[in-house]
Amino acid sequence: MNKKTRLVVKVGSGLLANADRLTPRFAFMQRLMDDIARLRDEGYDVILCSSGAVALGLNAVGCRPEDAGVNDKQAAAAFGMPLLLNAYKQVGHEFGFEIAQVLLTLGDFEDHRRFLNTRNTVNRLLKAGIMPIVNENDSITTEEIRVGDNDRLAAKIAQMVEAERFIILTQVDGLYDRNPSEPGATLVEELRDVSEYIDATKGKSTLGTGGMLTKLQAANMAQNAGCETYIANGEAEHPLTSVLNGERRCTRCIAHERPDGMWQTWLADRLQMAGSLVLTDDAAAALSEGGPIHRDHVVSMDGEFSRGDVLHIYDQTGTELARGLSDFGAEETRVLIYNKELPADQLLGYQTHAEIIRNENMVMVEDRHLPWETPQMSETPGESVR
Ligand code: GLU
């Protein structure tokens, strides 16, 4: 049996909605869906991650993009989502295939059980020959619990379905080494290490394209999972096949030659920091030999995490060392690490090894991973719990 090549495509709002009128750009959708139909015939399984719901709903709620607050966007998404999906449904029929909607929130990626459930749904749709169209469920997500950008959401989907290819369609030709409007700006056509350009995308007038940072973060996540990623302009006659056939200029982010496995990938790539631990100098030095992280190794902690959330592990200078799944919730962890003079069994009321993170549930942060900055620790070493 031939295994189909899996391709995740992310399409930005600017391609789907007219910037002034905030109405659908059907001509673009037709070019896109025509190209997807072509790829399906060639043996690709395509998963589309489409933005545009908020943009297409703003008129109805009487807002302009620059003035819309969270609540306006939630309402706009509720209005725009069926409009967007109906358009895809109809254009899909024109090209002879069916689409289905999968709306997700942060927890569907960050909670491993929900991650696997979502994967089953997407796989089942693909098995039925239906193209999943994925988006964030913006109507019910608030600032604290939203992914916020579809670039990283699409990268997570690419990891989830073990996609071989990932195309991010946007309104520029790819990543430039400086603001594309500056003289001498050059398109980066091949990219191995996105960290070389991360700082440039954060600056105000360096790269011009506001969304390039999340695109690079997304590319990094996909690369590490062994997925070749392309950042390309969507305004082309054949927006996808021209990229895959190397017929036009774009940024190609080479897949890592030693990709992480599914579990390591899931542990390493976070969308939100649930919590963090700071280790003693000795424990930090010994960590390269592997875990577990015992309560005796922890100097301080941050975050209101639950058991099963992934924690970021730092040394005392703020360098991120590892990420790992916590065996305890924040409350128990706090009790364990700030009362080291008392036996763990006595503190928790049950028998325990007091290993906050087990070795098999931990992944070391390497050069290939983009480190996260250490949060401001709210608690101080030695602080005691009443
Ligand atoms: N989920 C948003 C929408 O559908 C888009 C988020 C993004 O542009 O990255 O409108």
pLDDT band at 386 (very low <50, low <70, confident <90, very high): very low
Element (H, E) at 104: strand 99-104
Q: Which CATH architecture has domain 273-364?
A: Roll (2.30)
Do 135 and 9 form a contact (C-beta atoms < 8 A)? no
Res 205 pLDDT > 80? no
Q: For every residue of 255-310, which 3-state class applies, written as one string?
A: CCCCCCCHHHHHHHCCCCCCEEEEECHHHHHHHHHCCCEEHHHEEEEECCCCCCCE
Which residues of the chain are in CATH 3.40.1160.10 domains?
5-265
Which residues have a Cβ under 8 Å from the Cβ of 237 and sit 6 or more positions away?
A: 31
**Separation of alpha carbons 313 and 189, rounded Å:** 34
Residues 43-72: pLDDT tens digits?
A: 999 999 999 999 999 999 999 998 999 999
| Amino acid identity, position 90 | Q
Q: What is the dihedral of CA 139, 142, 148, 153, to 10 degrees?
A: -70
The stretch 323-333 carries a mean pLDDT of 97
Q: 212 alpha carbon to ligand 1 midpoint, in Å?
A: 15
Q: Which atom of ligand 1 is nearest to the CA of 52?
A: 10
Residue nearest to atom 2 of ligand 1 (CA): 51
What is the rounded average pLDDT of the residues 170-199?
Answer: 88
CB 254 within 8 A of CB 223: yes
Ligand 1: distance of its center to the CA of 11 in Å? 9
Span 242-266, average pLDDT: 95
Given pLDDT bands bounded at 50, 70 and 90, which one contains residue 198? confident
CA of 289 to the centre of ligand 1 (A): 41
- CATH H-level, domain 5-265: superfamily: Acetylglutamate kinase-like (3.40.1160.10)
Residue 278 Cα to ligand 1 midpoint, Å, equals: 35
Chain CA centroid to CA 29, Å: 24
- Please say if the pLDDT value at position 286 is more than 90: yes
According to the model, what pLDDT value does residue 208 have?
A: 27
Cα torsion through 200, 206, 211, 217, rounded to 10: -10
Q: What are the angstrom distances between the C-alpha of 84 and each of 37, 38, 137?
A: 18, 22, 13
How many CB atoms are closer than 10 A to CB 62? 11
Short-list 170, 206, 171, CA closest to 185: 206
The ligand 1 atom nearest the CA atom of 138: 1
In the chain, which residues fall in CATH 2.30.130.10?
Answer: 273-364
* In the predicted structure, residue 127 carries a pLDDT above the cut 50: yes
Is the backbone of residue 364 left (phi > 0), alpha (psi -120 to 50) or beta? beta
Assess contact for 312 and 323: CB atoms under 8 A. Answer: yes
Q: How high does pLDDT run on average in the chain?
A: 91
Can you tell me which atom of ligand 1 is nearest the CA of 151?
9
Provide mean pLDDT across the span 106-125.
96
Spatial CA neighbour of 353 closest among 364, 342, 345, 363: 345
Ligand 1: residues whose CB is within 6 Å? 12-13, 51-55, 135-136, 138, 149-150
Closest atom of ligand 1 to CA, residue 50: 4
List, for residues 128-146, the tens digit of each pLDDT value.
Answer: 999 999 999 999 988 788 8
Question: Best mutation site among 136, 137, 141, 231 for ligand 1, i.e. most ligand atoms within 8 A of its Cβ?
Answer: 136
**pLDDT tens column, 67-94:** 999 999 999 999 999 999 999 999 999 9
pTM score: 0.91
CA 136 to ligand 1: nearest atom: 1
